[in-house]
Amino acid sequence: MRLKGFLAAAAALVASPVLADTTIIHASSVIPDASGEASGPATITITDGQIVSIDDGWLPTPKGATMVYLEGKTVLPGMIDLHTHLSGDPSGEFWRYAVNSPEWYTLVGAKNARLTALAGFTTVRDLGSRTDQVTQSLRRATQDGLVPGPRIITSARTISIVGGHGQQNNGFNRKAGEALDSGFTCTGPVECAEKVRFASKYGADLIKITATGGVLSQQGRGLEAHFSDEEMRAIVETAESLGLKVAAHAHGARGIEAAARAGVHTIEHGTYIDEAAANAMRENGTTLVPTLMAFQGIKDNLGKGFYTPVVEEKIRAVSAYAETIVERARQWGVKIAFGTDAGVFPHGENAGELALMRNAGMSDREVLASATTDAAAILGMEGEIGRLAAGYSADIIAVEGNPLSDVTVLENVDWVMVRGRVIE
């Protein structure tokens, strides 16, 4: 009888409904998305990490719900950074890759995930891990609430040509370089297609390639195209067959043009974009992610012994062009979305990109859209993040002031929620 009673009680417990986790927010103003206007006082109801409703006025709090008072604050969607490197901090010491352990980079990533979320970025696209499985692990840890941080969409490791930008064993002697090889370089379309499949197998959400040379790698061979047209087409076609998009690091104009013709979805940096490259981007629906904070960050460290001489020379070469990337792209009708390259500069300072984009001629509303609705569309998540509405993820931030009239107020975020969890 005791056993039967125990089993009956257990069955009743399993059958009983689990109480929903409900949070009520009272805010002085709500901006549902960048295309709208700020409201008056409003109540946001959140259940199990999802927005249930947004109502005018401050409604009574249901029994058992958690109450959040944001009087005097403007509430809006959490921002999205399309270009980060959570597992890295600024450093000119390229050799540290050979010294630090994967465990170290994981801890660095956890630290930076929290800083990024506290800065108001509730989703990030991480484009290049320092070592294997770091961002895949962080993705799971932030999703499960084990580590405070943003939603993470990751490319994991970067695919490059042999000796190209993105191959982290550059700068070492041959024996050390071979020992440190990531296994994500390729030559020829067949090998490049294989590396895409390999990245997909081990959990990449998208593919990142270095379509041109780079500024911070230890080669002085220029910043033009690396992959052949056939190699890039094989990468894009293979990625798309697996349901993955492709982001291409690209500085030189002809490299940008070739990557856009191959069908990549975003161009990262776009330093030397010209009219021909812009036309290829526009015709193929390719979006520019300008990462202006990265250029500012590396320029700030010039002449301090922070970088090797070959890197300093490249920084000086790109600096004059970096200030006009957005202006040139807009002149030729290229779409722009928000991304910073955080990790080249300190994590948590991502919102500094907003003012740089505005200084380049974008309106406050356009800048806010680039970091919310436009970025969500790039990720294919426009039905889940980037705005506040019933059915959307409770990715919410609060600030003083109105970012639609002054986007720089987002440099000081007072309160953050990711997936219904408050970040502290």
- CA atoms of 285 and 288, how far apart (whole Å): 10
Specify whether 332 is located in the same domain as 408: no
Cα four-point dihedral sign 307, 312, 314, 315: positive
Specify whether 69 is located in the same domain as 146: no
Specify whether 44 is located in the same domain as 151: no
Specify whether 220 is located in the same domain as 149: yes
Note whether 78 and 416 are within 8 A (CB). yes
Q: How far is CA 74 from CA 42, 370, 414, 420, in A?
A: 10, 19, 10, 18
- CA atoms of 208 and 199, how far apart (whole Å): 10
SS (H, E, C) 152-184: EEECCCCEECCCCCCCCCCCCCHHHHHHHCCCC
Residue type, 186: C
Whole-number pLDDT of residue 214: 87
Q: What is 224-243 written as a DSSP string?
A: SB-S-HHHHHHHHHHHHHTT
HSE-CB of 155 using CA atoms within 13 angstroms:
30
- What domain range is 402 assigned to? 2-78+387-422
CATH number of the domain where residue 66 is located:
2.30.40.10
Specify whether 306 is located in the same domain as 412: no
Contacts of range 96-102, beta carbons closer than 8 Å, 24 or more positions apart? 97/130, 97/168, 97/169, 97/180, 98/169, 98/172, 98/176, 98/180, 100/130, 102/131, 102/132, 102/133, 102/134
Structure tokens at 322: 């970096």
Specify whether 334 is located in the same domain as 293: yes
Whole-number pLDDT of residue 12: 36
* Sheet order of strands, 415-418 included: 50-56, 42-47, 22-30, 66-77, 396-399, 415-418, 421-422
Burial bucket for residue 236 (CB in 10 Å: 0-12, 13-18, 19+) = buried
Structure tokens at 274: 């010209």
Specify whether 185 is located in the same domain as 123: yes
Q: Which of 96, 216, 118 is nearest to 164 (CA)?
A: 216
Mean pLDDT, each 10-residue run in order, the chain (424 residues): 40 42 97 96 97 96 94 98 95 68 92 98 93 91 97 94 71 59 87 97 96 84 89 98 98 97 98 98 98 93 85 88 95 98 97 98 98 98 98 98 98 98 97
- CA atoms of 424 and 416, how far apart (whole Å): 8
Note whether 83 and 291 are within 8 A (CB). yes
pLDDT digits (tens, 9 = 90+) for 227-247: 999 999 999 999 999 999 999
* Number of residues that this document lists for the chain: 424
Radius of gyration for the chain, computed over Cα atoms and rounded to the nearest angstrom: 23
Specify whether 303 is located in the same domain as 192: yes
Residue 361: count of CB within 10 angstroms of its CB: 12
Q: How far is CA 411 from CA 41, 295, 424, in A?
A: 23, 18, 17
Note whether 387 and 394 are within 8 A (CB). no
Specify whether 166 is located in the same domain as 45: no
pLDDT digits (tens, 9 = 90+) for 5-53: 434 333 433 333 435 799 999 999 999 999 999 999 999 999 999 999 9
Specify whether 26 is located in the same domain as 102: no
Whole-number pLDDT of residue 270: 97
Whole-number pLDDT of residue 14: 39
Specify whether 299 is located in the same domain as 366: yes
Whole-number pLDDT of residue 9: 36
Q: Provide the domain count of the chain.
A: 2
Q: Is the pTM of the predicted complex or chain greater than 0.85?
A: yes
- CA atoms of 293 and 288, how far apart (whole Å): 14
Specify whether 293 is located in the same domain as 240: yes
CATH number of the domain where residue 324 is located:
3.20.20.140
Structure tokens at 28: 């002085």
